[in-house]
Amino acid sequence: MPTLSVFMDVPLAQKLEGSLLETYKQDNCPKKIFLAYRVCMTNEGQPWVSSVVRKIRLQIAQDPSLNYEYMPVMGMKSFIQASLELLFGKHSRVIVENRVGGVHTVGDNGAFQIGAQFLKTWHGNSQIVYIISSQKELYGLVFQDMGFTVYEYSFWDSKQLCMNPDVLLDVVEQAPRDCIFVIGNIGNCKMTQHQWAKLMATMKSKQIFPFFDIPHQGLSTGDLEEDTKFLQYFVSGGLEFFCSQSLSKNFGIYDEGVGVLAVVAFNNQLLLGALSQLMNFALALWLNPPTMGARIITSILCNPALHEAWKQNLKGVVENIMLIKEKVKEKIRLLGTPGSWNHITDQNGTHGYLGLDSRQVEYLVKKKHIYIPKNGRINFTCITACNIDYITESINEAVLFTKGS
């Protein structure tokens, strides 16, 4: 009898992500442009790296006193401390009251992985997850694979062309009690004091558990504190939550997943229980998180001069993003394209909605070889002096073409 292969029934897995990028790569048209990179790009079309990072890399390599021993399972203590202070502020209530802690993870995927494992085990009253559409592809699968029921939501209002607080409030109101709510990009939703209060009250009364995603603090408004200010509302509102923080993208250390899963609990005792269980998941997954990225970041965050230089770096990047958006808006307007296009400059951060419908997006991809996700949310830092004219003219064409049909 011939031996049967163990892998006999294993099919080739479907590609989970990057299909747009794959199609782009296979396109032979010399005009092709990809506008969906995840990271902040420089004007030269390279992934952005904070200037302090290179300096620190060299300094670390030259330091004879450093050892490269195993880290504790929890990760690098000084790194976790610095990350939490960055998220909440050194003198924030949760830090003073000793009821926020964190686990050093392999990037944001690692943070969502252990967070989801924890909720699978300890959040018995509901296994329903609401996830913001921009993060569905990356983290939706993590939850789905564990058996959670996953629903996608968005608060982008494609008619009014803005992040609409009423849409968000509606989603929360219709969500079932006790569900888990993965929240990203909420800083872009301009809510009044009254709307925040309403959001808190609804979440609290329905015992909804928020799981925040902070993929690149500082690259949204250019101000580190401003970017995570909304967390304070949830703290004051008396909610417990998880928060995934990635520090790979706002330092430009893309090849080292550097993340933290922050936990806010009602008190220190509850926090310690939760952290100890999360640690066990981390232990099974990777034993000790890799430290190179964390070491670089901690060296910068704990040195006031370097910290300041990094802050200025971020400010410069965001000013540049704003400039790109202004130019795109201006060029589209000069072409006489119907619409106000204010929504382009109204949104913060590297990524934003162009406000195009699915036919317009299809036109850009198929006819103009400009690769854009279906929802029309692009990375504005992929637009450079070399391609801005082609892109804006193509957008104008797409709008006119679909208006006429």
Question: Which region among 169-177, 253-261, 304-312, 315-323 touches a copy of itself (by CB under 8 A)?
Answer: 253-261
Question: Which region among 100-108, 160-168, 317-325, 336-344 touches a copy of itself (by CB under 8 A)?
Answer: 100-108
Give yes or no for a contact between 227 and 72, defined as CB atoms under 8 angstroms apart: no
Q: Is 172 exposed, middle or buried (0-12, 13-18, 19+ CB in 10 A)?
A: buried
Q: Which of 150, 164, 244, 256: binder of a copy of itself (CB under 8 A)?
A: 256
Are β-strands 209-214 and 180-184 bridged in parallel, bridged antiparallel, or unpaired?
parallel
Question: Closest CB to a copy of itself among 36 and 400?
Answer: 36
Give the contact letters, 157-196, x = binds to a copy of itself (CB under 8 A), - = no.
Answer: ----------------------------------------
Question: Closest CB to a copy of itself among 221 and 248?
Answer: 248
Largest CA distance in the chain: 75
Contact between 87 and a copy of itself per CB under 8 A: no
* Closest CB 126 distance from a copy of itself, rounded Å: 10
Query: Pick from 367, 402, 403: which is nearest to 33 by CA?
Result: 367
* Closest CB 310 distance from a copy of itself, rounded Å: 16
Token duo for residue 388? 């801005």
Q: Which of 293, 349, 355, 376: binder of a copy of itself (CB under 8 A)?
A: 293
Q: Which amino acid is at 394?
A: S
How many residues belong to the site for a copy of itself (CB under 8 A)?
73
Give yes or no for a contact between 165 and 154, defined as CB atoms under 8 angstroms apart: no
Q: Which of 4, 29, 305, 385: binder of a copy of itself (CB under 8 A)?
A: 4
Q: Which amino acid is at 192?
A: T
Token duo for residue 373? 């996700």
Contact between 323 and a copy of itself per CB under 8 A: no
| Contacts of a copy of itself in 23-62 (CB under 8 A) | 38-39, 46-47, 49, 57-58, 60-62
Calpha distance 64→54 (Å, rounded)? 18
Token duo for residue 198? 């309403």
Contact between 385 and a copy of itself per CB under 8 A: no
| Contacts of a copy of itself in 267-286 (CB under 8 A) | 270-274, 276-277, 279-280, 283-286
Contact between 89 and a copy of itself per CB under 8 A: no
Calpha distance 69→218 (Å, rounded)? 32
Question: Which region among 23-31, 103-111, 181-189, 344-352 touches a copy of itself (by CB under 8 A)?
Answer: 103-111
Contact between 106 and a copy of itself per CB under 8 A: yes
Contact between 253 and a copy of itself per CB under 8 A: yes
CA distances from 143 to 151, 165, 180, 244, 343 (A): 10, 26, 11, 15, 32
Question: Closest CB to a copy of itself among 48 and 88?
Answer: 48
* Closest CB 256 distance from a copy of itself, rounded Å: 4
* Closest CB 99 distance from a copy of itself, rounded Å: 10
Calpha distance 126→139 (Å, rounded)? 18
Partners of 245 in the β-ladder: 214, 260
Token duo for residue 208? 């909804």
* Closest CB 330 distance from a copy of itself, rounded Å: 31
DSSP code string of 150-178: EEEE--EETTTTEE-HHHHHHHHHHSPTT
Query: Pick from 343, 328, 341: which is nearest to 392 by CA?
Result: 328
Give the contact letters, 67-86, x = binds to a copy of itself (CB under 8 A), - = no.
Answer: xxxxx---------------
Contact between 257 and a copy of itself per CB under 8 A: yes
Query: Pick from 308, 291, 266: which is nearest to 94 by CA?
Result: 266
